[in-house]
Chain A
Amino acid sequence: MLACVATFALLGVDSREVTVEVDVRRGLPAFTLVGLPDAAVREARERVRAALLNSSLEFPLQRLTANLAPASMRKAGPSFDLALAVAVLAASGQVPAEAVTGSAVCGELSLSGALRPFRGALATALGAREAGYRRLIVPVENAGEAALAHGLDVLAVPSLDRLVDVLHGRWQPEPARPHSTRPDRHMHGPDLADVRGQADAKRAVEIAAAGGHNLLMVGPPGAGKTMVARRLPGVMPPPSFEEALEITRIHGVAGVGDGRLAAERPFRAPHHTTSPQGLVGGGSHPRPGEITLAHRGVLFLDEVAEFSRPALEALRQPLEDGFAEITRGQRSLTFPARAMLVAACNPCPCARPAGDCRCNDVDRLRYGRRLSGPLLDRIDLVCQAAAPPAAELVDQCAHATERSATIRERVVAARERQRHRLAGSEALCNADMDGRLTRRHGALGDEAAARLLGSVEQGGLTGRGHDRVLRLARTIADLAGRERIAAEHLEEALGYRLAAPVGLAA
């Protein structure tokens, strides 16, 4: 007898439908699994056998052939266990075959028959909804995440025997509800008000968040660059529901999320020894890299000069396009990668304060070269992060520094202006504007125009730098709530621009 059960396999951050077909024939007892399974999938036979027997069900002593269709796709991981078990039960007549039509089944089995969670529940649920399934059966632990996909009944089942009850109609569990988001997000997450000093970096962070600009922070070790960067998601506009779903889905696939709907944008700070594959994704079964995990959030590269050249080079395309394309063997996968880049480095290779610096021309040249090239091309703002003076650190009385929430209000308003202005174009924020859009929306006041002309004539500004300064000035004007860019906005933008890369001024 033949039975088919639908399940889903992860492919990048999406899921693809996989049909588990089990055929039970008379013959010498055997269990064959075909359809390009990897080792973990092949081991599913043993888990299924033990789980069935331990759940007081029968494992048919006949010739079993299981096929995972489409057979051309490589299957990995243990999430096919449950579908395989259900297919065996249906093929051997232990559950009614029609009970599983219209349902997708996903989960890992323990030998006892209990269900274990799997990675990527939300991606699976979204795939199932898209494929037209009404019902998704998952382990209890995954139910909250899977239920975030509206319009799909998610059944949370603790064990194989309870699942048999469901299929026989003996037990009707309530459709699972999504985990509630963290109750008060303002109580969580670090706040910019906790950071002493750092006026320049805070302002830069505000501008960067408002326009989606990539940022470089320059400062000695211990000045608080990481501390400021970590607070950037808190001043960016909170993610919309769709964005939150994307974030949660990616984190679910990578196994870093807690299954709740993301309330804040992600912050990822990979170490500088991270490989190119670690940054943009890869592996024989490609997994998302750091830039994908930072999708809709912030990718923070501390000590950016220490990252390997290939790693930084690999980031170039994703930063440009907003997605990372990974090709392995015959497959090519696309990971979303729309993250804001925040890089940090020391003022010079020795990283000592200005007075004690012992770096010479050559050292600085070499350091600058490591920085220049692929990444600096993408940086719109450079700010300084200086260690606050001791008096300010020790000062106990709370300074009237702004809270992240206050800054966020301004950022949201600025983003709203941009959204309004850029409606109908590809760009979502000022940083996305191409040369044409920049010129169209970078309307300068007379004084500002004269000022910009002066900078270009002085030779301090190239064509590319000109556009970048205009975009930045646009954002600063948006923060100020002005439609026309005034001289002071332009001047501030000029102050944050990146000077010519080190060592190129011969």
Chain B
Amino acid sequence: MTATASSACAACLRRGYLVGQLAARIAGLLDSPHARLTGVLALPDEELVAAVGGKDRGDALAFLERFDAASARQELEQAGVGAVCRHDCGYPSQLEQLDDAPAVLFVKGAGDLGPLAGREPCVALVGARRASPYGLEVTHELGRGLAAAGLTVVSGLALGIDAEAHRGCLDAGGLPLAVLGCGPDIPYPRTNRRLYDRVCERGLVIAELPPGQRPFRWSFPARNRIMAALAQMTVVVEAAEPSGSLITSDFATQLGRSVGAVPGQVTSSVARGTNRLLKDGAVFVTSPEDVLDELYGAETQNRPAEPRRNPLVSLGDPVQRLLLEAVEGGLGVDGICAHAGLPVQEVRAGLSRLEAAGHVRRDPLGMYRRAAGSPQG
């Protein structure tokens, strides 16, 4: 099945468009901080109209009456968007576990839903938009490592952790899967539109709302339930309290999926949520291996091997080890010079070698930090 063919049946398609039609009404009903999605999206068409339609009820019923699946399919084709409904064999069966599973998924991109439907392992990597450099680094490495091990990495294309998860996955040549809270043809947030394009080129963008639909506040938690349901395991990298990422992990817990969290600094506000998750018994995730261990068990033979970087520099070299230690300690170049007792020329050259070997990375303003996942010295 290619993404652009609309194989959804007419009833499901009508349901998908009805949700789009009523999105603004649902917003009015749900957009108070304490309202939960529970139930609303599980209602059958007519009851949904009755529940949220309000003064637009007449319009909505007329819409149901007049809905023309053929022209909707044509529209989708023009937008380059495919639609997969729950009666379709391409529909990811793990979503059926949701009481309010979306009747139809709108998809865009070159990728294929097939592997997901066939229960290929899939991991959701989610976290804060206001991520720290540490969080981004770890996310990138998790995304890269999991994709390299052949897993599908699903995330939400949001700023910060989500985007970095996609980048890591793309880095490893994996197929990124992005679940959006708006129509699948809308790069949201706009800042990530280039990333959106790359995800479309290589992977798949999924949405519950039909094309052209803007996001609503309620549609993000709704998107999170899809991510949680799609993935066998949800890993939260950084999350404040409360946050959307914790909503995702709540959904995952409710569905009986595993939840992992990456430990953070106790003083950091974006680590509060993840540290709490760990306290509550989430899987302790420090590397892609921890995720693989959880999914496949530590000793299983059939677990995919995670390819390692090839260390060009032997860390047996004491100078390199010293430099790496200093970078790990968060020192600047001056600090590293003092720590290693070396002239700055040698330190700069040594750091370049470490960078080439993938042990350290440099941000655009030239600050070095330890690359996550580099072989431990």
Q: Do A and B bind each other?
A: yes
Contact present for A492 and B352 (CB under 8 Å): yes
Among B129, B159, B362, B364, find the residue whose CB has the most chain A CB atoms closer than 10 A.
B364
Q: B194 contacts which chain A residues (CB < 8 A)? A: 506
Interface residues in B357-373 (C-beta closer than 8 Å to A): 362-367
Chain B contacts for A501, CB-based, 8 A? 364
Q: Using an 8 Å CB-CB cutoff, how does the interface string of B340-370 with A read, 1 for contact, 0 for none? A: 0001111011111101100000111111000
The reply to whether B366 and A382 contact each other, CB–CB distance below 8 Å, is yes
Interface presence of B375 (CB below 8 A)? no
Are the C-beta atoms of B352 and A383 separated by less than 8 Å? no
Residue with the highest number of chain B CB atoms closer than 10 Å, among A348, A458, A476, A494: A494
Q: Mark A431-456, 1 if CB is under 8 A from B, else 0.
A: 00000000000000000000100110
Contacts A203-B344, A368-B364, A383-B366 given; does A506 touch B333 at CB 8 Å: no
* Complexed CA–CA distance, A458 and B355 (Å): 11
Known interface pairs A198-B334, A505-B167; 9 further A-B residue pairs with C-beta atoms within 8 A, sorted by A's residue number: A199-B344, A354-B330, A361-B163, A383-B366, A386-B333, A386-B335, A488-B349, A502-B364, A503-B191
Q: B131 at interface (Cβ–Cβ under 8 A)?
A: yes
Q: Does B198 lie within 8 Å of A361, measured CB to CB?
A: no
Contact mask A127-166 → B, CB, 8 Å, 1/0? 0000000000000000000000000000000000000000
Query: Cβ of A499: which chain B residues have Cβ within 8 Å of it?
Result: 362-366
CB distance from A228 to the nearest CB of B (A): 12
Closest-CB distance, A448 to chain B (whole angstroms): 11
What are 26 inter-chain pairs, A to B, with CB distance below 8 A? A199-B344, A201-B334, A218-B367, A219-B332, A360-B129, A361-B160, A362-B129, A362-B191, A382-B366, A389-B335, A451-B356, A454-B312, A454-B356, A458-B356, A476-B345, A491-B352, A491-B353, A492-B349, A492-B352, A495-B351, A496-B348, A498-B364, A499-B362, A499-B364, A505-B167, A506-B198
Contact B195 A506 (CB under 8 A): yes
Chain B residues in 8 Å Cβ range of A219: 332
| Interfacial chain B residues near A201, Cβ < 8 Å | 334
Known: A384-B333, A488-B345. A455 touches B365 (CB 8 A): no
Secondary structure dominating the interface of B: helix
Most B-side CB within 10 Å, residue of A200, A362, A501: A200
Residues of B within 8 A of A451 (CB): 356
Tell me, rounded to whole Å, the shortest Cβ–Cβ distance linking B112 to chain A.
23
Question: Which residues of chain B come closer than 8 Å to A200, judged between CB atoms?
Answer: 332-334, 337, 344, 348
Q: Across the interface, which residues of B come within 8 angstroms of A455, CB to CB? A: 356
The complex places the Cα of A197 from the Cα of B364 at a distance, in Å, of 23
B136 at the interface (CB under 8 A from A): yes
Q: Is the CB of A360 within 8 A of B192?
A: no
A70 CB-CB contact with B under 8 Å? no
Nearest first, the 6 closest Cβ-Cβ pairs linking A and B are A506-B194, A360-B130, A495-B348, A491-B349, A386-B332, A200-B333
Complex Cα gap A232–B184 (Å): 54
B334 A388 Cβ-Cβ under 8 A:
yes
B338 within 8 A of A: yes
Q: Which residue of A lies closest to B337 (CB)?
A: A199
> A423 near B: Cβ within 8 Å?
no
Task: Tell me if A347 counts as interface (CB < 8 A to partner B).
Answer: yes
Seen from chain B, the residues whose Cβ lies within 8 Å of a Cβ on chain A are: 129-132, 136, 159-160, 163, 167, 191-192, 194-195, 197-198, 312, 330, 332-335, 337-338, 343-346, 348-353, 355-356, 362-367
Hey, what's the 0/1 contact readout for A182-208 against B, CB within 8 Å counting as 1? Answer: 000000000000000111111100000
A498 to B131, CA, bound (A): 23
Find the B residue at minimum CB distance from A480. B345
Asked whether any CB of chain B lies closer than 8 Å to the CB of A167, the reply is: no
Given the interface contacts A200-B333, A386-B334, does A361 sit within 8 Å of B351 by beta carbon? no
- A495 surroundings in chain B (CB, below 8 A): 348-349, 351-352, 355
State whether A384 touches B198 (Cβ < 8 A): no
Interface size on A, residues (CB 8 A): 46
Q: Closest Cβ of chain B: how far from A246's Cβ, in Å?
A: 34
CB neighbours (8 Å) of B167 from chain A are: 505-506
Q: What is the CA–CA distance of A451 and B131 in the complex, to the nearest angstrom?
A: 34
Tell me how far the C-beta of A236 lies from the nearest C-beta in chain B, rounded to whole angstroms: 20
Chain B residues near A299 (CB, 8 Å)? none
Bound complex: CA A455 to CA B332 (Å): 22
User: A459-506: which have CB < 8 Å to B?
Assistant: 460, 476, 488, 491-492, 494-496, 498-503, 505-506
Q: Is the CB of B366 within 8 A of A498?
A: yes
**Minimal Cβ-Cβ distance residue in A for B199:** A506
B126 to chain A, nearest CB (A): 14
* Chain A stretch 20-64: residues in CB contact (< 8 A) with chain B: none
Judging by beta carbons under 8 Å apart, are A383 and B362 in contact?
no
Q: Is the CB of A361 within 8 A of B352?
A: no
User: For A357, what are the chain B residues with a Cβ–Cβ distance below 8 Å?
Assistant: 132
User: Which residues, 382 to 400 on A, are CB-close (under 8 Å) to B?
Assistant: 382-384, 386, 388-389
- Which residue of chain B has the shortest Cβ distance to A345 in the bound complex? B365
| Cβ of B80 to closest chain A Cβ, rounded Å | 20
Closest to A502 in B: B364
| Cβ of A50 to closest chain B Cβ, rounded Å | 62
* From A347, A388, A389, A503, contact of B365 by CB (8 A): A347
Among B130, B330, B332, B365, max chain A CB count under 10 A is at B365
Contact A347 B367 (CB under 8 A): yes
**Cα A498 to Cα B365 with chains together (Å):** 7
Whether A492 touches B192, Cβ cut-off 8 Å, given contacts A382-B365, A386-B332, is no
Kindly name the residue among B194, B312, B348 whose own CB sees the greatest number of chain A CB atoms within 10 A.
B348
Q: Output the least CB separation between A444 and chain B (Å).
A: 15
Kindly state whether residue A314 has any CB partner on chain B within 8 Å.
no
Flag whether A365 is at the interface (Cβ < 8 A): yes
**Roughly how many angstroms separate A454 CA and B310 CA in the complex, as a whole number?**
13
Question: Which chain A residues border B335 with CB–CB below 8 Å?
Answer: 386, 389
In the bound complex, CA of A202 to CA of B343 (Å): 11
